[in-house]
Structure 1
Amino acid sequence: MVKAWGILVCVLIIALDIAAGILALEADVKQNKAKHTRLWLFEYREPNQVAFKLGLAAATLLVAAHVLANFLGGCDCNCSHDELQVKAPLNCQLTVLCLIFTWIVLAAGLSMFVIGTMSSHKPRASCGFTHHHILGVGGILCFVHGLFSVAYYVSATAGAPF
């Protein structure tokens, strides 16, 4: 039963991250189809509500996958920095490393989504430097986040007594 629960959680995390990535890639396609005028480095792009909604949904799914992995993973490696380098078991080191990477990828992906969706928002049509494919890069980061989140969940729950 515990094994089935773990597999279900891993599949749910991966499904949320894949859905967020697909929505972000679709938002990038919709945003690039919007009418835009370019003058050297500066560009004016018409707002695209579909791209805005897709980007917002992708950001929501990315946060949901991150919250799910962190709350259900529950890292209980209570080690100081010195203990982590010297005496901590390999599983604890892997758990902390995956946790750090998931937070880094989350921060990078969400910043990409914020920049990309705000450039598609109706009241704030973007005039300025070009932001091509920024939602697409955020979508790719969703897939990377899924890999690190599952690795974190598996390593955090591997030694946990149930």
Structure 2
Amino acid sequence: MSRLERLHKDLGPILCVLIMAFDMIAGILAIEAEKAQHKVKHARLWIFECRSPSHKSYNLGLAASILLILGHATANLLGGCIYIRSKKELDEATANKKLAVGSLIFAWIILAVAFSFLILGTLANSKSKKSCTILHTHFLLIGGALCFIHGLFSVAYYVSAAAVTREERKLHHPQAAPA
């Protein structure tokens, strides 16, 4: 049994909880950042909004962004590299491998969108003085909601990647007895 397989077997459930915790805490922090942002003075006129930045919102948004990246990195580094290179390989792939690749693709897409929203919301609060811009509300809220969805796809990737690692070991080393 390889080190990676032993890690999946011994710490798999704990790692799933860790990955989900990173994303859930990131989502909660982003929602709290949105709340803090709405507590500062602001004025609206049609599609324009003038408001003071919120230092608390900036810090919470930055922390949420970092935790989102940590959750993604944990799932990808510990899940390993699962990929499909051709149509033939896709046709021959197991359900776990297809699930791993699909989850990985969706996790990356959601990461890109969620991180973009979190950074946009955070940067809106990074200025040192009041600013007036075109209305851009709820970036932190949307980014926070996407953090929860990202956690689900990241855990799905990690679990299916661990299953693929086990399957490939059995396929390439059939004489090795499972532990």
Residues 26-105 of structure 1: pairs in structure 2 closer than 5 A = 26-77=32-83, 79-105=84-110
Match of 1:111 in 2: 116
> What residue ranges of structure 2 are gaps of 5+ in the alignment?
1-5, 170-179
CA drift of 1:89 comes to: 1.5
Question: Quick check: which has more Rg, 1 or 2?
Answer: 2
Structure 1 CA distance for aligned equivalents of residues 120 and 130 of structure 2: 12
CA drift of 1:126 comes to: 4.0
Change (3 A) 1:133 1:154: same
Change (3 A) 1:29 1:153: same
> What residue ranges of structure 1 are gaps of 5+ in the alignment?
none
CA drift of 1:90 comes to: 1.5
CA drift of 1:83 comes to: 2.4
CA drift of 1:125 comes to: 4.5
Structure 1 CA distance for aligned equivalents of residues 124 and 116 of structure 2: 12
Q: 1:23 aligns with which of 8, 20, 29?
A: 29
Secondary structure at the counterpart of residue 127 of structure 1: strand
TM-score, structure 2 as length reference: 0.84
Q: 1:119 touches 1:126 (CA, 8 Å); kept in 2?
A: no
RMSD: 1.6
1:152 aligns with 2:160: no
Change (3 A) 1:124 1:85: farther
Match of 1:12 in 2: 18
Q: 1:21 touches 1:142 (CA, 8 Å); kept in 2?
A: yes
Secondary structure at the counterpart of residue 50 of structure 2: strand
Structure 2 CA distance for aligned equivalents of residues 103 and 114 of structure 1: 16
Structure 2 CA distance for aligned equivalents of residues 86 and 146 of structure 1: 28
Change (3 A) 1:74 1:46: same
CA drift of 1:84 comes to: 4.0
Structure 2 CA distance for aligned equivalents of residues 119 and 60 of structure 1: 17
TM-score, structure 1 as length reference: 0.92
Q: Percent identity?
A: 48
